[in-house]
Structure formats: structure tokens, C-alpha cells
């Protein structure tokens, strides 16, 4: 078994992070997985294409799925790594605009080819456009998924990432899904008469009649969305090529949300900061995307030709084949050609030729010549097969009945669909045999909080840490329920339990806002010296450097069907400056650090493990945030409550005191100032966070009833309590010492800091530390 030691020597050298972050690609690191994940992934990569697509779409929180994603990327990118005709790699050192122009020319040529093929396809039959839109649905609806988690602690505040995040925000309708790309493409499908469930629905692939090649292409884009930090050049290349080529817009005759000049501008910006290696990777991704789209357009054309060339009997056979597996024992004693239909449809392999031959000679198709017959009668309202076949299928049966009644008896030939199957088999074989050289098998054993923090920030490379993260997050949420009883004594929070109602939640939030955060404020009469102010600030910086992380995985493709997800995404977008690097909160944090003379490596770097500017006692708080954010489905409710607590804390006394102290010593207060304004409880993030909880629980009430609301609410409120659990450490110590949450609280300094230490010399509890006791008396360590 290969192990993954910590990187020694010069790779750990201290290099301070400076703005702007012009990273073109993250340093190459191995991808570390546990043995159990390896065993599960071995089976998963051999799954049928639609199962592979469904796994990558629906299972976003498991270690094995990330390993599957690595195999898929390896399979697709390895073959694409060989230069092809017209490869501009020789000009890789050209000016960024020149290289971007060469890439744009390749894409324009591919777009012209695709347009010609699609125009011919649309003319091939009355339902050809609708059928092609259905065939593209998994790709059309997944387009842009590669940006879902590109913005994360490991990549912020990169110039390239922020420019791509601005595109991500546009594709998602600026936080309003109705204006986003996915909804626009659903409208195009609906206008063509193609009605499909949500993309993560169990029957989506079946109802979209997803071809194996389509499922495998979608799996590639989903795999890229699982490991985007490590494949930043590939994300840029795929993003430009797929959207600038615009097959889905050509097919639906719609205008793109991101026009080609806007896409090329971001492409050129990445090329401008990219070195030769990153440029080659980016162009490889462009070439691969063009290859995949040509391959898929060719498959659509092959499918259209097959449809146009089918005989009437073959079309009827396809309908029967699609419905027969669900026929079961519904036909009772019905017999055709001397055989019971239960036997015909229950056979391991249905003899469609024999069945159609017998059926057209049976009494079920006899009629006056206009198609009326017992078979069609059974499909009408009141008949035993009403509602089974759609209008198009019923029309096909009528046309067949007319031909049969006219005496036509052509040879029954069944034409099987094979469009794209040869290419799909090559792709699938490549995935099965893929063996990425950078995959390491080792169990997660972080030696301390610093190393655990490093692994969580770089979770794509340390997926073996996911089980530890899930267990730590759950334990903290569970332990924080102690504040359901003692929370009223909190300095900045009140996590005391109350029965939920929208009014009760708003009243609690307003009382905390005014009584604990705003009304206690009075300007400081004395300002601590610079060293004390900087120490106090240093207790905040670790969480400032991961600002917004608790939300960054919410609302990904397939997990964005709740109304509240769009609202949470809008809050996260605000935290990231909506793609404007100057307003990005991670940028603001680095501005503050620079103004205070504090030099740190980027938190993604190995050297950050050894930094000595930020106190060790603070890692537990940041680690909890990073742990829970990795499970946006499992801990969705808890994240809602945590979001309310942290957004409310952005306002009031503590912020105002910190601004006063920072200004006094000439330290940039931009971070504190930004949160003081956007987190307000009038219309800012704090009020939005409460609205989101109310909206979420209202949906629960309407769909599952009042009892479900109580169950879901408890989880939401323990998320709020988990924030208070770290924030209110002085109170927890008093409870441990005296059993009284307010004993000794009188005379506490007005600017008590939200940190894991009651004073600089006293270590505080870290409730998420491994082995933390459930007993309150054991909280103080």
C-alpha cells in the first residue's frame, strides 16, 4: 500500500500570499483515498453508463464518488492529451489574445459544422427537433456544472476563479433560477412538447431516453465538477468551448446567456496568467470538448436517420418494447396468436417479430379501414389501457391499424437503436481500465488540528478525510444541544430551545439582534495597544480566510430543487463579491492582513501548516465549519441554523468595537465594515437567513405536515447552537465550574471577543476535538 507522507523540505518553504492571486493551476498533489472507497469505486466504474451518470449526479458527499470522478477524468483526458490537427500548442507562448483567438477560430469552425448538421437533422422529420432536444437534455441541463464548487477555500480569491464565478452567477440567473440557463432550457424542452422530471429524479434518464454515449459525456462534466480545484485549466477550457460552441442554443434557437466575446475575455485572462503547462492543459480540454460535441452531434444525426428510416412495424415494436417490461400480469387471460400476453411479455427475451405478426392477424386490429379497432378502443378513456400510451404513441398505433386494415403485410423487421454505441463502448472501456497514477491509498490520520485543517481545505486531494469530517460535525451538533437549556446566558447568542413558528423565530432573532448585539454598544473609552488589538484580530483571521465556506457546496446540480437553495447561493455570491474580486470577502481579509503587517501563505499551501501567526486554539471553530460544509445534503438543516447565527453576528457591538480599534491603529477595517452593512437584520444577510428558514419549514409543512416541521426544526436550531457553542466558550466554562450560565458574568469587559479562549493564557474547550467528552464537566481541557 502506498502511503502519503507530509511533504518535506523545500516544498514546505514559506512563501507569503500577496494580492492579486494569479494562480493558473493549483500545485499537483496526489489524490488520497481509503481502502473502502477504493473497493466501492472499483465496482462503480464498471456500472452501466446511466448508472454512472446517476451516481456522480446524486452522490455528492462520499469518498468513493470522488475516486470514480478521478477515474472518469483520467479516461477522458488521457486520450485527449495527444495533439491533433491544427493544434496551436506550438504557439503556446504567444500573446494571450492571440492564443485565445486561435482557440476561438477552432470553436467557430466546429460551430459552423454543428449548425450544418443540426439544420439537416431538424429538416429530417416532423418531430426531429423535439427528439434531438430530448437527446441533449442531460447535457443541456448539466451545462455549467463544472463551476458549481470551483469557488472554494482552496481556490479563493483567485482572479481566474472570480471571473468564472461571475459567469456562474449569470448562468444561475443572478440568484433567481427562473432567469437562469437551466430554466431557459427547460422552457425550450417544454415548448417542444418534451416534459421531463428534475435531472436527479430516479426516472430522468429513462424519460429522457438517454443514450449510453450521452450518459458518459454527462459523467465527464459531472466528474469535472467534483474536482474543479485540481483541474482549473480544464474547467476554463471546457467552459469556453462548450458554451461558445453552443450546440444547445443552436438546437433550441435561443440566445446564450453568456455571449462568445464575454467567454473569450475570461479565457484570455486565464491564458495571460498561465504558464506553458497550464496552457497546454487548457487547450487539451478545449480539444476534448470539441471532440465530445462533434461526437454527440454525430450521434444525434445518426439517431435522426435511424428514426426517419424505420418502418411502421419497427416503430410499433419500439413502443411495445418500451412498455412491455411494466406490463406484468395486467393482461389477465388476453391471448394473441394462441399465447397468453403474460407469457409473451414475461419471457426473458420478447419475440417482437412473432408477436407483431400474430397481433396484426388478430381480431384486435380488425376494423372498417379508418384505424378503429379493439386495440385503439382499449386506449381510449374508460378502456383498460387508457393513459398508458402518449398521444404520439397512440397515433403510431392508429397509423399501423389503418395499414393493417388496408391489407398491407410488409415483412416485420426490427431495427435496433445503435446511435453512438461504438463511441460509447470506447469511452466506457477507457473508464474501466483507467488507473490514475496520482491516486494513493491510505487511511486518514491527521496528526493535529493544523494538518486536519489543511486536509479539509484541500478535500479534493484528501477525500479519505471525509468520514472524519462527518463524524466531527455530527458530534458537535449533538453536543451543542446543551445550549438548548443554557443558551440564554450567551453574550452574543441565545440558543435556548423554543417551539417553532415563523413569529417565534423572528421574535427570537430580533431580541438577540437588539438585546445582545446592538443595544449594548457604547464606544470604547480606552483603546487597547496595537499588540493586543492584533492578537484579538488574529483569533478571527482563520475563519475570515474561509468566509462563506459553510455555503459553498449548497445548490449544486441535482441538489438545487429547494426554493431556499437559490437564496443561500445568493448569500454565498455576496460573500464572494458576486465575482468582483475587489468585493470578495477573502480579498478583504488579505487586505487587512497586509495592512497589519501579517504575512501568511495561502491556506491551501502546505506551508500554512507551519505558520506561527494564528493561534492553535482557534482551529476547532474553522474545522467545524469546513466539516459541515462538505455534507450539504446530510447537514442541510444544520447549515440553515448556522447561517442564521453567523450572519447575525456580523452586526452590532463587536464589529463596531473592532472598527474603532482598527482605525485607531491605522489597520484596514474593510472586512469589519463590509459585514456591519450587509449582515443587517433589516434586509441584509441576517434577515435573509431567517427568511430562508421560514421558507424551508413552510415547504416541509405543506409537503409533510406539522409533525415533520418539529423534527426538521430541531436540526435547524442545533445548527444555530453549534455556532454559539464555539462563540460562548466563557459561558460554557462558567457552567462547568458552577452550573450557572451567568455566574461571574457581571463586570465582563464590553469587548469580549468571540474566540476559543477566555483569556490569552487559558485554553478553551474545543468541543469538536477527537475524543471530546459528552459530559459537560469534561468540556474544559
Q: Do 357 and 288 reside in the same domain of the chain?
A: no
**φ/ψ of residue 590, rounded to 5:** -70, -30
pLDDT of residue 328: 63
Check: CB of residue 296 under 8 Å from CB of residue 110: no
pLDDT of residue 329: 67
Respond yes or no on whether the N-terminal peptide bond of residue 437 is cis (omega within 30° of 0): no
> What is the per-residue burial (b if ≥16 Cβ within 10 Å, else e) of 82-113?
eeeeebbeeebeeebeebbbbbbebbeebbeb
Q: Do 541 and 690 reside in the same domain of the chain?
A: yes
Residue range of the domain that includes 326: 312-405
Q: Do 301 and 335 reside in the same domain of the chain?
A: no
What's the 3-state SS for 59-116?
A: CCCCHHHHHHHHHHHHHHHHHHCCCCCCCHHHHCCCCHHHHHHHHHHHHHHHHHHHHH
Q: Do 389 and 464 reside in the same domain of the chain?
A: no
pLDDT of residue 90: 59
Residue 24 covered by a domain: no
Domain C-terminal end among 309, 326, 348: 309
Residue 519: pLDDT over 70: yes
Residue 443 covered by a domain: no
pLDDT in tens, 267-289: 999 999 999 999 999 999 999 99
- Select the more confidently predicted residue: 9 or 271: 271
Residue 660: pLDDT over 60: yes
Residue 575: pLDDT over 60: yes
pLDDT of residue 138: 98
pLDDT in tens, 171-223: 999 989 999 999 999 999 999 999 999 999 999 999 999 999 999 999 999 99
Average pLDDT across the chain, whole number: 90
pLDDT of residue 511: 96
Residue 699 covered by a domain: yes
pLDDT of residue 616: 85
Q: Do 258 and 271 reside in the same domain of the chain?
A: yes
Domain C-terminal end among 375, 405, 435: 405
CATH of the domain at 151: 1.20.910
Counting the structural domains of the chain, the total is 3
- Give the pLDDT mean for 107-127: 95
Residue 132 covered by a domain: yes
Q: Do 588 and 674 reside in the same domain of the chain?
A: yes
pLDDT of residue 681: 81
Respond yes or no on whether the N-terminal peptide bond of residue 157 is cis (omega within 30° of 0): yes
Q: How far apart are CA 305 and CA 128, in angstroms?
A: 10
pLDDT of residue 92: 79
The band of 88, judged by pLDDT with boundaries at 50, 70 and 90, is low
Q: Do 765 and 621 reside in the same domain of the chain?
A: yes
pLDDT of residue 750: 33
Check: CB of residue 220 under 8 Å from CB of residue 76: yes
Q: Do 267 and 364 reside in the same domain of the chain?
A: no
Check: CB of residue 25 under 8 Å from CB of residue 277: yes
CB-facing half-sphere around the CA of 555: CA atoms within 13 A? 24
Any residues with CB less than 8 A from the CB of 98 and at least 6 apart, and which? 91
Residue 161 covered by a domain: yes
Q: Do 360 and 484 reside in the same domain of the chain?
A: no
pLDDT in tens, 709-753: 999 999 999 999 999 999 999 999 988 888 777 665 433 333 333
From residue 527, give the alpha-carbon distance in Å to each of 151, 659, 755.
Answer: 37, 11, 19
pLDDT in tens, 388-420: 998 889 999 999 999 999 999 998 888 889 999
From residue 104, give the alpha-carbon distance in Å to each of 58, 146, 278, 336, 663.
Answer: 34, 20, 18, 60, 49
pLDDT in tens, 545-568: 999 999 999 989 998 888 889 999
pLDDT in tens, 75-87: 999 977 555 545 6
Q: Do 477 and 595 reside in the same domain of the chain?
A: yes
Residue 299 covered by a domain: yes
Q: Do 302 and 349 reside in the same domain of the chain?
A: no
Residue 757: pLDDT over 50: no
The band of 348, judged by pLDDT with boundaries at 50, 70 and 90, is confident
Residue 240: pLDDT over 80: yes
Residue 185 covered by a domain: yes
pLDDT of residue 776: 27
The band of 528, judged by pLDDT with boundaries at 50, 70 and 90, is very high
Using DSSP's 3-state secondary structure scheme, residue 566 falls into helix
pLDDT of residue 93: 82
Residue 763 covered by a domain: yes
The band of 89, judged by pLDDT with boundaries at 50, 70 and 90, is low
Domain C-terminal end among 292, 309, 326: 309
pLDDT of residue 677: 81
Q: Do 173 and 292 reside in the same domain of the chain?
A: yes
Amino acid at each position: 500500500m502506498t502511503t502519503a507522507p507530509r511533504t518535506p523540505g523545500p516544498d514546505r518553504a514559506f512563501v507569503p500570499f500577496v494580492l492579486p492571486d494569479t494562480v493558473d493551476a493549483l500545485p499537483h498533489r496526489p489524490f488520497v483515498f481509503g481502502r473502502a472507497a477504493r473497493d466501492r469505486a472499483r465496482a462503480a466504474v464498471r456500472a452501466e453508463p446511466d448508472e454512472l451518470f446517476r451516481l456522480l449526479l446524486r452522490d455528492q458527499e462520499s469518498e468513493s464518488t470522488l475516486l470514480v470522478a478521478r477515474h472518469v477524468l483520467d479516461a477522458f483526458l488521457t486520450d485527449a492529451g495527444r495533439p491533433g490537427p491544427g493544434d496551436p500548442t506550438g504557439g503556446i507562448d504567444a500573446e494571450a489574445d492571440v492564443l485565445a483567438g486561435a482557440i476561438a477560430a477552432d470553436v467557430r469552425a466546429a460551430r459552423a459544422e454543428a449548425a450544418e448538421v443540426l439544420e439537416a437533422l431538424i429538416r429530417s422529420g416532423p418531430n426531429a427537433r423535439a427528439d434531438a432536444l430530448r437527446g441533449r437534455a442531460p447535457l443541456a441541463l448539466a451545462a455549467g456544472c463544472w463551476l458549481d464548487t470551483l469557488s472554494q477555500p482552496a481556490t479563493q480569491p483567485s482572479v481566474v476563479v472570480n471571473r468564472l464565478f461571475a459567469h456562474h452567477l449569470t448562468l444561475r440567473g443572478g440568484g433567481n433560477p427562473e432567469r437562469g440557463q437551466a430554466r431557459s432550457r427547460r422552457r425550450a424542452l417544454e415548448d417542444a412538447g418534451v416534459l421531463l422530471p428534475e435531472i436527479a429524479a430516479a426516472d430522468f434518464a429513462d424519460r429522457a431516453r438517454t443514450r449510453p454515449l450521452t450518459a458518459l459525456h454527462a459523467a465527464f462534466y459531472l466528474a469535472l465538477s467534483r474536482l474543479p480545484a485540481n483541474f482549473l485549466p480544464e474547467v476554463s477550457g471546457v467552459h469556453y468551448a462548450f458554451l461558445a460552441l453552443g450546440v444547445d442554443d443552436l438546437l433550441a434557437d435561443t440566445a446564450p446567456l453568456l455571449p462568445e466575446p464575454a467567454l473569450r475575455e475570461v479565457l484570455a485572462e486565464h491564458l495571460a496568467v498561465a504558464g506553458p503547462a497550464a496552457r497546454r492543459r487548457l487547450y487539451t480540454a478545449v480539444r476534448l470538448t470539441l471532440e465530445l460535441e462533434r461526437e454527440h452531434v454525430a450521434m444525434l444525426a445518426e439517431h435522426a436517420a435511424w428514426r426517419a428510416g424505420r418502418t411502421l412495424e419497427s416503430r410499433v415494436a419500439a413502443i411495445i418494447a418500451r412498455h412491455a417490461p411494466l406490463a406484468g400480469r395486467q393482461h389477465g387471460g388476453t391471448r394473441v396468436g394462441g399465447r397468453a400476453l403474460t407469457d409473451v411479455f414475461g419471457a426473458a427475451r420478447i419475440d417482437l417479430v412473432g408477436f407483431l405478426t400474430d397481433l396484426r392477424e388478430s381480431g384486435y386490429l380488425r376494423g372498417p379501414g379508418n384505424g378503429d379497432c379493439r386495440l385503439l378502443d382499449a386506449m381510449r378513456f374508460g378502456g383498460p389501457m387508457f393513459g398508458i400510451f402518449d398521444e404520439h404513441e397512440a397515433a403510431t398505433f392508429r397509423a399501423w391499424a389503418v395499414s393493417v386494415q388496408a391489407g398491407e403485410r410488409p415483412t416485420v423487421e426490427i431495427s435496433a437503436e445503435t446511435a453512438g454505441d461504438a463511441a460509447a463502448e470506447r469511452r466506457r472501456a477507457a473508464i474501466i481500465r483507467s488507473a490514475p497514477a496520482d491516486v494513493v491509498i491510505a487511511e486518514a490520520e491527521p496528526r493535529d488540528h493544523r494538518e486536519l485543517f489543511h486536509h479539509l481545505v484541500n478535500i479534493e486531494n484528501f477525500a479519505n478525510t471525509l468520514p472524519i469530517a462527518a463524524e466531527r460535525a455530527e458530534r458537535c451538533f449533538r453536543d451543542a444541544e446543551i445550549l438548548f437549556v443554557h443558551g440564554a446566558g450567551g453574550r452574543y447568542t441565545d440558543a435556548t430551545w423554543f417551539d417553532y413558528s415563523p413569529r417565534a423565530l423572528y421574535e427570537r432573532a430580533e431580541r438577540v439582534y437588539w438585546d445582545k448585539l446592538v443595544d449594548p454598544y457604547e464606544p470604547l473609552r480606552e483603546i487597547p495597544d496595537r499588540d493586543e488589538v492584533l492578537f484579538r484580530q488574529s483569533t478571527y483571521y482563520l475563519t475570515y480566510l474561509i468566509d462563506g465556506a459553510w455555503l459553498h457546496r449548497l445548490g449544486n446540480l441535482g441538489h438545487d430543487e429547494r426554493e431556499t437553495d437559490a437564496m443561500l447561493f445568493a448569500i454565498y455570491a455576496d460573500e464572494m463579491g458576486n465575482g468582483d474580486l475587489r468585493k470578495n470577502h477573502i480579498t478583504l481579509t488579505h487586505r487587512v492582513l497586509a495592512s497589519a503587517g501579517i504575512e501568511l501563505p495561502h491556506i491551501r499551501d502546505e506551508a500554512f501548516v507551519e505558520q506561527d501567526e494564528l493561534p492553535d486554539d482557534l482551529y476547532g471553530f474553522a474545522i467545524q465549519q469546513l466539516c459541515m460544509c462538505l455534507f450539504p445534503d446530510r447537514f442541510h438543516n444544520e447549515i440553515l441554523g448556522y447561517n442564521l447565527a453567523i450572519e447575525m453576528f456580523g452586526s452590532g457591538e463587536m464589529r463596531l468595537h473592532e472598527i474603532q480599534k482598527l482605525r485607531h491603529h491605522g489597520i484596514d477595517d474593510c472586512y469589519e465594515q463590509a459585514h456591519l452593512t450587509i449582515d443587517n437584520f433589516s434586509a441584509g444577510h441576517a434577515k435573509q437567513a431567517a427568511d430562508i428558514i421560514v421558507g424551508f419549514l413552510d415547504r416541509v409543512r405543506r409537503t409533510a405536515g406539522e409533525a415533520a416541521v418539529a423534527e426538521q426544526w430541531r436540526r435547524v436550531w442545533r445548527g444555530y447552537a453549534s455556532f454559539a457553542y464555539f462563540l460562548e466558550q466563557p459561558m460554557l466554562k462558567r457552567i462547568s465550574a458552577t452550573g450557572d450560565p451567568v455566574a461571574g458574568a457581571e463586570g465582563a469587559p464590553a469587548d469580549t471577543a468571540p474566540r476559543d479562549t477566555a483569556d490569552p493564557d487559558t485554553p478553551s474547550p474545543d468541543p469538536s476535538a477527537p475524543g471530546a467528552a459528552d459530559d459537560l464537566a469534561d468540556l474544559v481541557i
